[in-house]
Amino acid sequence: MMEWLSLYGGDIGDYAKIIIADLILSGDNALIIGMAAAGLAPERRKQAILYGMIIAALLRIVFAVVATKLLGIPGLLFVGGLLLCWVCWRLYVEIRAGIDEQAEHALEDAEDPEKGYTGAPRRTLFSALISITIADVSMSLDNVLAVAAIADQDTTKLVVGLGLAILMMAFAATLIMHILTKYPWISWLGLIVLIYVAGEMLYRGVVDVNTGVGPMLGLMEGWPTGKGGSH
């Protein structure tokens, strides 16, 4: 029993971290999607929200799979740790600015046929999704870095964790934003998790015998720090 817990307990914890990171970092994506959907005719908005969330999530999976491979290159783990520190700062600023609350209102406006744009269709669903996709591409770095660092080159863990987050965001985006707005401590908890992940990433980026900048520059011998191999 103890062997099973030690074998799978860490994996379960990593899946939970991936889901938490993805959800608390989805506020800006949800805000963009809600604003774009609110500009459509009412009958097209729910489709735009659903498809927009799926596009955002699929982009994160593709980018994160690539990122997990790149983090195996010597030196890039340390760079990724520094970038993740920037992500933590950005999340802190977003929490203080109430981005989740803004996203919740934007999604609610889009789902209310009497709010947002209510005239004759002036843009197509396709054009709205193109706008959402372009915005998501430019805003995916935070999600990608966070989940790639947690997955630690385990593609299965990455896809399953993000897949669960996809389902949650695609079918309950407004509810999730409402919960994050009503219980801001969840976002603060997520920030603490990301700070821990960033610290661990920086540590490994310095001392890891295969990818650390310390051994790479000849400053130390280094030692293995990976939590798991590639899958």
What is the token pair recorded at 82?
């520094």
Share of the chain above pLDDT 90, in %: 1
Angstrom distance (rounded) from CA 105 to CA 119: 20
Task: Give the structural domain span for 146.
Answer: 10-216
| Structural domain includes residue 129 | yes
pLDDT band at residue 7, thresholds of 50, 70 and 90?
Answer: very low
For the chain, the residue count is 231
Q: Please write the tens of the pLDDT for every residue from 173-219.
A: 888 888 888 888 889 988 898 898 889 888 988 888 877 888 887 77
| Structural domain includes residue 150 | yes
Q: Single out the residue of 128, 108, 158 nearest to residue 52, CA to CA.
A: 128
pLDDT band at residue 226, thresholds of 50, 70 and 90?
Answer: low
Q: Per residue in 167-204, is it b (16+ CB within 10 Å) or e — as a string?
A: ebbbeebbebbbebbeeeebbeebbebbbebbebbbeb
| Structural domain includes residue 226 | no
pTM: 0.78
pLDDT of residue 228: 44
* Position 150 pLDDT exceeds 50: yes
| Structural domain includes residue 109 | yes
| Structural domain includes residue 1 | no
Domain count, the chain: 1
Mean pLDDT of the chain: 79
pLDDT of residue 8: 45
Q: Select the more confidently predicted residue: 123 or 50.
A: 50
Q: Single out the residue of 109, 81, 107 nearest to residue 28, CA to CA.
A: 107
| Structural domain includes residue 70 | yes
Mean pLDDT score, 118-128: 70
| Structural domain includes residue 224 | no
